[in-house]
Amino acid sequence: ATARALVDPSFSLGEIDPRVYGSFVEHMGRCVYDGIYDPDHPTADEDGFRGDVADLVRELGPTILRYPGGNFVSGYRWEDGVGPRADRPVRRDLAWKSIEPNLVGTNEFLRYCQRVAAEPMMAVNLGTRGIEAATALVEYTTLAEGSYWSDLRRSHGVAEPWDVRVWCLGNEMDGPWQLGHKTAYEYGRLAAETAVALRRVNPEIELVACGTSKPVMPTFATWEAQVLEQCYSHVDYMSMHMYVDPDLADDVPTLLASGLEIDAYIDSVIAASDFARAAGKHSRPMPLSFDEWNVWYNSRPREIGVWPSAPELIGDIYSMADALVVGSFINSILRHSDRVRMACLAQLVNVIAPIRTEPGGGQAWRQSSFYPFALASRFGRGESLRVGLQAGRHDTARHEDVPDLDVAAVRDPASGTLTFFVINRDLSNTIPLELALGGFTGFEAGARIEHTVLTGPSAAATNSASQPDTVVPRAGRSGRWSGEAIAIEPLSWNMIRLH
């Protein structure tokens, strides 16, 4: 049956913050070393960053990059990663049981952000360290001169301070796996005290408190309430993390319905933070930073080895079906534009990443998941619109009443372009989709349409270094559109733009 998506200029879900198209660089596995960084690579720049990988990062289009972790940050001594490289210590990274050579640190990463045109989002260690190390880092990074840490940066050859606005107050402090794991009360107090101190160093910064690390945490929601009870008025955002595991979904229809769980989780985090807002008599709603999200085959056994350097750690290879889940994450984030103001696809290169490199300086290539992100980051800007969707529905092993389509809509106020991101969850049927434009004017006389389709030979199809183009977008119809239904192929992600 024909589906119908209704949008109207009055049904705005809020302005899309460009920072929702962020990603994440952790000192983990082959993300940094043998990923973005390889000084022996023919395309390496003066810092040792691979130029071919940087080109792919720019094409992917992350607006903000979180760094240096992740679990890694909770044991990190940032001082180890600044100053002359020859003097930097080699350490054991207790989070991932790997060797950390400290060849990449704060200044190199911040130069990388400039190179790929992304804003940095830095995290401080509230696991094994605390307020003093955090204030020193903010001073080192963002103050001009005339104090011990800012002058130390200058002595390291970085004369101007970096413009680092966003700072995460630790990482996943609710998780027992986290170095320095804390109770909600302990963490909430520490986040509040650290926030007060950091704002004294630099009042311009924006601070993110750690929310829950995954929806199944037994402390989920009470963690948010208790942490925010301590630090609500001191922080600007609350984080949330979520990974979808295709192995746990067990079948493709169930996996493709995970968008329902993503929507429900965001709604629950909003509810928990609104409870803290009401209980604390705060007027400002708490914006969310969804600063780790992706597909992660997390239930598979992991070989870490004995203190390896840059091991192949969670180097997941993504399928066509996984790319649709990535598209669903983006649609869910867009549906919550008023509250989700930052988000990071975790991670950027090699570690659960849209970009892969062959070990030892080999070829770099795009995974299936690269494309929904890259196209949404480029074209999903402006105002997010509520979509009134009429579509067929189905049940899965875990869900009831799943819409066959997942649709998000965006209006670019500058050009008036309407962009629809459409996922067909049906594995075998093409669904005709009518676009009903409500009170939008200017499209009646025949709009220009551009339809881009991402699909593949099967749900399990993947790209690889030797076959990088198995799952790639192709142009659908383009030309004049006068209101006829648009064919949405089975198992596909689509971008439909009307000008």
* Chain-centre distance for alpha carbon 373: 9
Beta pairing partners, 120: 65
Distance separating alpha carbons of residues 355 and 330, to the nearest angstrom: 18
Buried/exposed 300-310: b ≥16 CB within 10 Å, e otherwise: eeeeeeeeeeb
- For the question of residue 79 being annotated catalytic, the response is no
Beta carbon of residue 471, minimum distance to ligand AHR (angstroms, whole number): 23
Please report how close the Cβ of residue 449 comes to ligand AHR at its closest, in angstroms: 38
Q: Do the beta carbons of residue 379 and residue 410 sit within 8 Å? A: yes
Please say which residue, 76 or 140, places its beta carbon nearer to ligand AHR: 76
Minimum Å distance from CB 73 to ligand AHR? Answer: 8
Minimum CB distance to ligand AHR, residue 389 (Å):
32
Q: Which region holds residue 273: left if phi is over 0, alpha if psi is between -120 and 50, else beta? A: alpha
Which C-beta is closer to ligand AHR: that of 139 or that of 172? 172
Q: What is the DSSP pairing of strand 418-424 with strand 355-357?
A: unpaired
Strand partners, 492: 424
Instruction: Mark whether 292 is an active-site residue.
Output: yes
Catalytic residue of the set 172, 206, 224, 450: 172
Q: What span, in angstroms and rounded, lies between the C-alpha atoms of 404 and 257?
A: 9
CB of 162 to ligand AHR, least distance (A): 23
293 or 365: CB nearest ligand AHR: 293
Residue 16 or 346 having the CB closest to ligand AHR: 346
Question: Shortest Cβ distance from residue 149 to ligand AHR (Å)?
Answer: 26
| Strand-pair category, 340-346 with 288-295 | parallel
Shortest approach of ligand AHR to residue 292 CB, angstroms? 5
Nearest CB to ligand AHR, comparing residues 28 and 205: 28
| Count of alpha carbons within 13 angstroms of residue 162, beta-carbon side | 26
Longest C-alpha distance within the chain, in Å? 69
Complex with ligand AHR: residue 73 or 387, whichever CB lies closer = 73
Phi-psi region of 167 (alpha: psi -120 to 50; beta: other; left: phi over 0): beta
Given the residues 79, 139, 292, 450, the one annotated as active site: 292
Task: Pick the closest to residue 370 from 318, 409, 316, 424 (CA basis).
Answer: 318
453 three-state secondary structure? strand
Closest distance between ligand AHR and the C-beta of residue 148, in Å? 31
Nearer to ligand AHR, 70 or 75 (CB): 70
**What does the angle CA 344 – CA 63 – CA 341 come to, to the nearest 5 degrees?**
55
Alpha-carbon distance of 253 to 237, in angstroms, equals: 34
- Distance separating alpha carbons of residues 368 and 90, to the nearest angstrom: 35
Query: Quick one: 141 or 213, whose CB is closer to ligand AHR?
Result: 213
Residues binding ligand AHR (CB under 6 A): 26, 28, 69-71, 171-172, 213, 292, 346-347
Alpha carbon distances (Å) from 452 to 104, 363, 389, 486: 38, 26, 20, 12
The rounded distance, in Å, linking the Cα atoms of 499 and 43 is: 39
The helix (run of H) or strand (run of E) holding residue 168 is strand 166-169
Distance, CA of 16 to CA of 313 (rounded, Å): 33
Q: What is the CA radius of gyration of the chain?
A: 23
- Find the shortest distance in angstroms from Cβ 157 to ligand AHR: 30
On the 0-12 / 13-18 / 19+ scale of CB atoms within 10 A, 8 is middle
Q: Which is nearer to ligand AHR, 347 or 384 (CB)?
A: 347
Check: CB of residue 323 under 8 Å from CB of residue 454: yes
- Indicate the residue whose CB is closest to ligand AHR: 70
Q: Point out the residues that are catalytic.
A: 172, 292
